[in-house]
């Protein structure tokens, strides 16, 4: 045994000596080829060992490598190089700044070299993402891609998001894009309908469908915009497609990364309502004019004192913390990426917040040279504390709504310590909503897919893809007896559970062939089946003996007023797809795709839809007549896509509860049809034409793309009116047409590279027009009761869909003579003058005009990245111009439901009075008698803005070579530091239902937060 042990020791020593002799230190310098400056922080990776180093302040590096090892050299904005080691011990490398023409870009069902793309695709890698707080994918890409408008419909932690790619196509169907994560199309559903509505009055909860995915796990996001890129997704491609690719491991030693940040958030401002002193003065003046005496006596005023600033009582400075730990690595056959995430964001509104625990595991294993298995697995649990905002009825809304409107002269508590509820208001005490309402959510979500790739023949790959996405959501709301509603109902509880399932089975074949160096083609064919299930259970109860059980025991409530309901739905898609890509002489590119989609949502006569596309591109720079240093490619495409987002069973005759009848002294409930079936119902079809140019000049120092597109969506799904004799009021029918057209510009430039100083800029611009072309033979559809203030939108040919529709105010009456000579004979001085549009001498609904639109004239994104010797400054501006929003806060202020509600300061300081005849706003006296409508030119506001979205200063601390800690980055970030806008609401981007319809309305939205944070990133 001793001899064997000695032999092992000798062999081990010889192995170590052999390894040491085979590996040598390679030293060198990396510089910019054009300017000769040293490149600081350039990456050198030994792909065999997995060891990597970066260059120092003088561009120098040292790395261990053996003969035959492959070194990969990369630096942001420069063409990547690969060098195989022979017998050299020194490498002096010159890097060329330029377009990475062979960068691989993810597209539908595969990848393509960037230089071979024929479609319009916005590709963003990790370095392109927005910095700072991001609790979901959408916040990484906001403002970064031309023609892609991302807005947070509610800034509540985990709140809803809206993404519009090249405008809005539909009136009644969805306008959100399809999200595909690692090749798995996910369910976009983010609504809970019901929620114990009978008990709590809150009927819709909008949440972010992407919040279960940790943004730190994302490697790239590709946005497919034109039909050439999206048609292969058929009936779900009309609104564009967002492809999300998560990180994977690489062969080499295991890398460990730890990222964390901690910060504080605050509401950037308070809404400018009347303070206590101003409120008393205004209310007294109005009361004298209305009823002849003041609302507050001197005794009242003395007892009130300073009053209460309700916004200060509801808002707070809120902490936020995020921690990510990831591991990646692998061998020649197996690679892995694993991560753990903890995210905790308190809301700036008290008693709101979001907490998420998440984990991811990505594995790839080569079973053999021909057989590969890949697993992508994500699981998370998310806990939400909600503000009860954006409910369907005003008085059911939460503390933000109440804090703006509540009387500042009212105390928080009564003398006995209980909450004070004003007898002059129907709005609840804001603090009672914070402390007396329990509004909790829990979402458990696990999704992922496993793929099997087998090389049947050289170049022919068969792929099986199985995916599953399961969500279990529960929402609990309890209004305790501390609140106005809870006290009236003896406590009100509501529980909603939502279960969503999504299963995918997909088989594709992909064949690629390089005919020679400059000619190649690829063929794709496949079949895919996807099934979606949705189950909802709601229960509500009132009249509890005590608040202590909240929603934990609904059976304690009064059984005579208990409410229960449930539903179950499912839909399926069966699809066949194909695509061909051909490159001729590396100059002329051709792409054609086709998809046949069968959907259970549509009528028996139209179960299948067919969606073709074709694209051509010409690499002009490959022609001999083009000068060196100029990259130029021309693109054009045409194709058709569909939209099936209309809900389930809309083509069928469904039934609902009917009348009751008495038979044999017993009561029987009947059923009755709720709609007329339409066997011809089918998807909306969008036909899109795109012309584009990709270019790069000065060796890629300036690169970009320009696109012009036209999208025509026809066979719109509209509810057309029916004669009353049918027993129904409308039928869902394919009629109508909407057009979107626009131009997009994307630029990237390397402005300065001089020594250790580097400055680069990214810029995007989009101008998109939207127009209703035809609406089933009707001249107009007046719709959009967006915030319970009456119809506020119109759809009419020649105008953008959901244009704001109301009365134009041209001034304020000053004298009885002006009133007598007007179309408003019953008005008084101080009342608004409404435009008599048709000149008939009366103000009627026929006098309404278009007052604005929910779509901007243009959007801009501007980012700058400046670095010097380890320091980096990054800032990003976003601008949205030429868009309006309906401000429901302004409506509540001008037309208060109760006299004693608080009001916007600007409206009542600049209100009409005999001493202020040139005022902008009416007198505030008897607003219910104004006539006209609440939706008017004073409540439709300009929602344009310029925003400094992120500002980050970081420092990369130099690390010694071969140190355990290989990288350490410290940074500070400010988000939403500055917003320039004339909009008087919380956020010009806010929208009550922005993620479910093209219409927008700001109804006491959750405030956008200003955030300051400190973070560090470490790699081992």
List the single range of 311-315, 463-467, 729-733 with lowest mean pLDDT: 729-733
What pLDDT score was predicted for residue 519?
A: 87
What pLDDT score was predicted for residue 995?
A: 53
DSSP 490: T
Tokens of 287: 């009361």
pLDDT 10s digits, 192-210: 433 333 333 333 445 677 8
> pLDDT category, 3, cuts 50, 70, 90?
very low
Mean pLDDT of 709-734: 78
Integer angstrom CA distances of residue 224 from 232, 605, 745:
11, 31, 15
Among residues 78, 49, 366, 337, the alpha carbon closest in space to that of 219 is found at: 337
DSSP 836: -
Count of CA atoms in the C-beta half-sphere (13 A) of 964? 0
CA distance 949 to 945: 11
Return the higher-pLDDT residue of 160 and 149.
149
Mean pLDDT of 599-621: 91
| pTM summary value | 0.88
DSSP-assigned beta bridge partners for residue 725: none
What pLDDT score was predicted for residue 572?
A: 94
In this model, does residue 963 exceed pLDDT 90? no
What pLDDT score was predicted for residue 648?
A: 77
In this model, does residue 233 exceed pLDDT 70? yes
Among residues 305, 375, 359, 363, the alpha carbon closest in space to that of 336 is found at: 363
pLDDT 10s digits, 695-705: 998 878 899 99
What pLDDT score was predicted for residue 677?
A: 73
CA distance 827 to 925: 11
Backbone phi, then psi, for 576, in 5-degree steps? -125, 135
Return the higher-pLDDT residue of 732 and 190.
732
**Hunting for tokens 């007294």 — which residue is that?**
284
CA distance 346 to 1009: 11
What pLDDT score was predicted for residue 197?
A: 36
In this model, does residue 17 exceed pLDDT 80? no
**Hunting for tokens 């626009």 — which residue is that?**
742
What pLDDT score was predicted for residue 671?
A: 67
- 70-84, 257-271, 666-680 — most confident range: 257-271
List the single range of 7-16, 450-459, 836-845 with lowest mean pLDDT: 7-16
pLDDT 10s digits, 722-747: 666 666 666 778 888 999 999 999 99
In this model, does residue 720 exceed pLDDT 90? no
CA distance 724 to 200: 35
List the single range of 69-83, 820-834, 917-931, 964-978 with lowest mean pLDDT: 69-83
Mean pLDDT of 824-833: 95
What pLDDT score was predicted for residue 778?
A: 87
Among residues 44, 47, 42, 15, the alpha carbon closest in space to that of 330 is found at: 47
Return the higher-pLDDT residue of 967 and 341.
341
Burial of 964 (0-12, 13-18, 19+ CB in 10 A): exposed
> pLDDT category, 389, cuts 50, 70, 90?
very low
> pLDDT category, 674, cuts 50, 70, 90?
low
Integer angstrom CA distances of residue 704 from 143, 763, 972:
16, 9, 30
In this model, does residue 444 exceed pLDDT 60? yes
Please, what sign has the CA dihedral across residues 411, 414, 420, 423? negative
Percent of the chain with pLDDT over 70: 89
What pLDDT score was predicted for residue 332?
A: 85
In DSSP notation, 600-624 reads: TTS-TT--EEEEEEEEEEEEGGGST
List the single range of 327-331, 342-346, 373-377, 656-660 with lowest mean pLDDT: 656-660
DSSP-derived 3-state class of residue 903? coil
What pLDDT score was predicted for residue 15?
A: 40
Mean pLDDT of 917-946: 94
Mean pLDDT of the chain: 87
> pLDDT category, 295, cuts 50, 70, 90?
very high
pLDDT 10s digits, 835-876: 999 999 999 999 999 999 999 999 999 999 999 988 999 999
DSSP-derived 3-state class of residue 297? coil
């Amino acid at each position: 045994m001793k001899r064997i042990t000695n032999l092992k020791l000798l062999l081990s020593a010889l192995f170590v000596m052999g390894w040491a002799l085979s590996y040598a230190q390679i030293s060198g310098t990396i510089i910019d080829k054009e300017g000769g400056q040293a490149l600081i922080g350039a990456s050198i990776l030994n792909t065999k060992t997995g060891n990597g180093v970066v260059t120092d302040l003088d561009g120098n590096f040292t790395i261990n490598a053996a003969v035959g090892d492959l070194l990969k050299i990369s630096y942001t904005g420069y063409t990547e190089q690969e060098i195989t080691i022979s017998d050299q011990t020194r490498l002096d490398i010159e890097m060329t700044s330029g377009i990475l023409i062979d960068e691989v870009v993810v597209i539908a069902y595969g990848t393509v070299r960037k230089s071979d793309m024929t479609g319009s695709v916005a590709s963003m890698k990790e370095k392109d993402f927005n910095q700072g707080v991001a609790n979901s994918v959408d916040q990484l890409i906001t403002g970064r891609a031309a023609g892609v408008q991302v807005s947070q419909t509610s800034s509540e932690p985990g709140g809803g998001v809206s993404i519009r790619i090249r405008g809005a196509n539909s009136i009644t169907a969805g306008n959100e894009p399809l999200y595909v994560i690692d090749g798995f199309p996910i369910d976009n559903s983010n609504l809970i309908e019901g929620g114990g509505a009978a008990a709590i009055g809150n009927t819709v909860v909008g949440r972010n469908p992407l919040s279960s995915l940790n943004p730190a796990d994302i490697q790239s996001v590709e946005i497919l915009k034109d039909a050439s890129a999206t048609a292969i997704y058929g009936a779900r491609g009309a609104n564009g497609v967002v492809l999300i690719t998560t990180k994977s491991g690489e062969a080499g030693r295991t890398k460990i990364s730890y990222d964390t940040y901690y910060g504080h958030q605050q509401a950037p401002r308070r809404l400018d309502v009347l303070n206590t002193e101003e409120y008393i003065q205004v209310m007294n003046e109005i009361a004298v004019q209305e009823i002849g005496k003041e609302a507050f006596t001197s005794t009242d005023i003395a007892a009130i004192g300073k009053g209460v600033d309700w916004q200060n009582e509801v808002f707070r400075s809120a902490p936020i913390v995020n921690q990510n730990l990831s591991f990646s690595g692998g061998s020649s056959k197996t690679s892995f990426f694993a991560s753990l995430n903890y995210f905790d964001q308190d809301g700036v509104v008290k008693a709101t917040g979001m907490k998420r625990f998440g984990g991811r595991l990505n594995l790839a294993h080569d079973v053999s040279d021909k057989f590969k298995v890949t697993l992508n697995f994500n699981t998370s649990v998310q806990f939400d504390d909600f503000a009860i905002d954006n409910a369907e009825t005003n008085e059911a809304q939460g503390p933000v709504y109440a804090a703006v409107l509540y009387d500042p002269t009212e105390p928080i508590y009564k003398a006995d310590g209980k909450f004070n509820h004003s007898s002059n208001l129907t709005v609840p005490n804001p603090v009672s909503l914070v402390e007396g309402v329990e509004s909790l959510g829990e979402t458990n979500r696990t999704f992922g897919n496993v793929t099997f790739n087998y090389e049947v023949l050289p170049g022919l790959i068969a792929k099986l893809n199985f995916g599953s996405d399961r969500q279990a959501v529960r929402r609990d709301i309890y209004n305790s007896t501390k609140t106005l509603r809870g006290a009236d109902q003896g406590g009100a509880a509501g529980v909603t559970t939502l279960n969503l399932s999504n299963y995918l089975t997909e088989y594709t074949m992909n064949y690629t062939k390089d005919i020679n160096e400059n000619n190649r083609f690829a063929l794709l064919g496949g079949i895919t089946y996807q099934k979606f299930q949705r189950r909802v259970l709601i229960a509500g109860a009132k009249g509890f003996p005590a608040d202590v059980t909240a929603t934990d025991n609904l059976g304690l409530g009064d059984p005579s007023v208990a409410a229960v309901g449930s539903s179950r739905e499912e839909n399926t898609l069966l699809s066949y797809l194909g695509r061909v890509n051909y490159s001729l002489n590396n100059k002329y590119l051709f792409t054609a795709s086709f998809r046949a989609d069968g959907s259970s949502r549509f009528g028996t006569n139209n179960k299948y839809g067919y969606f073709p596309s074709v694209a051509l591109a010409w690499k002009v720079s490959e022609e001999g007549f083009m000068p060196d240093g100029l990259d130029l490619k021309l693109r054009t495409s045409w194709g058709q896509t569909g939209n099936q987002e209309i809900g389930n069973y809309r083509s069928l005759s469904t039934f609902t509860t009917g009348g009751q009848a008495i038979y044999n002294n017993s009561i029987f409930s009947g059923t009755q049809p709720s709609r007329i079936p339409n066997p011809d119902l089918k998807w909306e079809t969008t036909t899109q034409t795109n012309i584009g140019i990709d270019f790069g000049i000065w060796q890629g120092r300036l690169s970009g793309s320009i696109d012009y597109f036209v999208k025509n969506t026809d066979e719109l799904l509209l509810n057309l009116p029916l004669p009353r004799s049918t027993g129904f009021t409308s039928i869902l029918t394919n009629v109508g047409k909407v057009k979107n057209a626009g131009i997009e510009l994307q630029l990237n430039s390397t402005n300065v590279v001089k020594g250790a100083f580097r400055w680069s800029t990214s810029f995007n611009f989009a101008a998109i027009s939207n127009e209703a072309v035809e609406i089933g033979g009707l001249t107009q559809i007046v719709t959009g009761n967006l915030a319970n203030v009456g119809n506020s939108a119109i759809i009419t040919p020649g105008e953008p869909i959901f244009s704001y529709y109301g009365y134009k105010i041209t001034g304020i009456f000053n004298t009885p003579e002006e009133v007598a000579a007007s179309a408003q004979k019953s008005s008084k001085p101080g009342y608004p003058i409404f435009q008599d549009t048709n000149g008939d001498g009366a103000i009627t609904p026929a006098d309404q005009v278009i007052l604005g639109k929910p779509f901007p004239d243009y959007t801009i994104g501007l980012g700058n990245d400046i670095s010097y010797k380890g320091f980096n400054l990054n800032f990003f501006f976003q601008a949205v111009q030429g868009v309006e929003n309906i401000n429901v806060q302004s409506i509540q202020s001008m037309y208060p439901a109760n006299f004693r509600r608080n009001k916007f300061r600007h409206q009542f300081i600049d209100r009409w009075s005999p001493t202020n005849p040139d005022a902008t706003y009416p007198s505030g006296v008897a607003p219910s008698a104004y006539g006209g409508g609440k939706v008017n030119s004073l409540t439709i506001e300009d929602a344009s803005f310029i925003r400094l979205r992120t500002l980050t200063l970081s420092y990369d601390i130099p690390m010694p070579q071969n140190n355990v800690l290989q990288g350490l980055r410290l940074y500070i970030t400010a988000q939403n530091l500055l917003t320039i806008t004339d909009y008087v609401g919380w956020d010009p981007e806010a929208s009550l239902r922005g993620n479910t319809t093209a219409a927008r309305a700001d109804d006491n939205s959750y405030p956008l937060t200003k955030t300051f944070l400190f973070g560090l990133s470490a790699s081992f």
